[in-house]
Structure 1
């Protein structure tokens, strides 16, 4: 009688059970990581879009208007005024909420790179909240996690 080396069915089931139990412990932690990546991606994209609007105003010596939609999850960047040429249209997740606290829409970048008024925007996504503060003088802004 020849003995073959291999795994029995019971051994395979034990290993598969251990793998499934370990994966069940790891998956709930992935939700928090995915939520963090969503908000991080939005914040980086938003910062890049605002810097693009400022740079476009400086290079082309024109005003650039950023309009935040309160009804839909989107904002638009336009050359000139609200009805000017569309430079950028950005949509984001329905679960993400932009709250204009002291900043009023539209945000205007003048040809010298300055903004028309200072203000604050809150970004809510899940349990996370970020504050975006626009400062007067060269259109600077910063992002802070609350």
Structure 2
């Protein structure tokens, strides 16, 4: 008679410490969805902040023109140059000295509603001016200068 020896079978319950492909793909897809959401939120927040800070720069330039007019008893104007997307403050006569000049972002534009060069007389007064600062998402801020006083009014984003 022959001796038969039985070998033990390996158990099917051998567990490894790794992850399955499906688990890895599921985690990667969740991470990618969350990152896309955060990028779009950051992008809209960036455009909103760009709009607000540029509106404040324009307000500062308008106030500079007004203060220079009062201090030097001379007329100064604020103007927007569409071709170069630049704002500037200068003396209000032809060839007048440029006091302040700054290029604004190409992602913004100024749409005139009632807008010429905003000119302040020697007492710091101006006529009524109104224009819109618009970003690429079509969000806008309205900027107005008031008759007589020259006060500047900036609306909320809408």
Using the size of structure 1 for normalisation, the TM-score is 0.80
Q: Which residue of 1 aligns with 2:67?
A: 55
**What is the rounded CA distance, in whole Å, between the counterparts of 1:24 and 1:58 in structure 2?**
51
**Contact persistence 2:118–2:129 (CA under 8 A):** no
Q: Per-residue CA shift, 1:13-33, capped at 9, x if unaligned?
A: 68x736555323311111111
Q: Per-residue CA shift, 1:65-95, capped at 9, x if unaligned?
A: 2222132211221124241111011211122
1:118 to 119, 124, 128: 128
Cα deviation, residue 123, structure 1: 1.3
SS at match of 2:57: helix
After superposing on structure 2, the runs of 4+ consecutive aligned residues of structure 1 that deviate more than 6 Å are none
Q: In structure 2, do the counterparts of structure 1 residues 82 and 93 end up closer, same or farther at CA, with 3 Å as the change threshold?
A: farther
Q: Which residue of 2 aligns with 1:130?
A: 141
**What is the rounded CA distance, in whole Å, between the counterparts of 2:19 and 2:52 in structure 1?**
45
Greater Cα shift, 66-75 or 47-56: 66-75
Using the size of structure 2 for normalisation, the TM-score is 0.75
Structure-to-structure mapping, 1:18-33, within 5 angstroms: 19-33=31-45
Q: Which residue of 2 aligns with 1:34?
A: 46
**Contact persistence 2:78–2:87 (CA under 8 A):** yes
Q: In structure 2, do the counterparts of structure 1 residues 40 and 143 end up closer, same or farther at CA, with 3 Å as the change threshold?
A: same
Structure 2: segments with no counterpart, 5+ residues: 1-16
**Contact persistence 1:112–1:138 (CA under 8 A):** no
Q: Which residue of 2 aligns with 1:3?
A: none
Q: CA RMSD in A?
A: 2.4
SS at match of 2:114: coil
**What is the rounded CA distance, in whole Å, between the counterparts of 1:64 and 1:9 in structure 2?**
73
**Contact persistence 1:65–1:109 (CA under 8 A):** yes
**What is the rounded CA distance, in whole Å, between the counterparts of 2:40 and 2:18 in structure 1?**
30
Q: Per-residue CA shift, 1:24-53, capped at 9, x if unaligned?
A: 331111111111111011011111111111
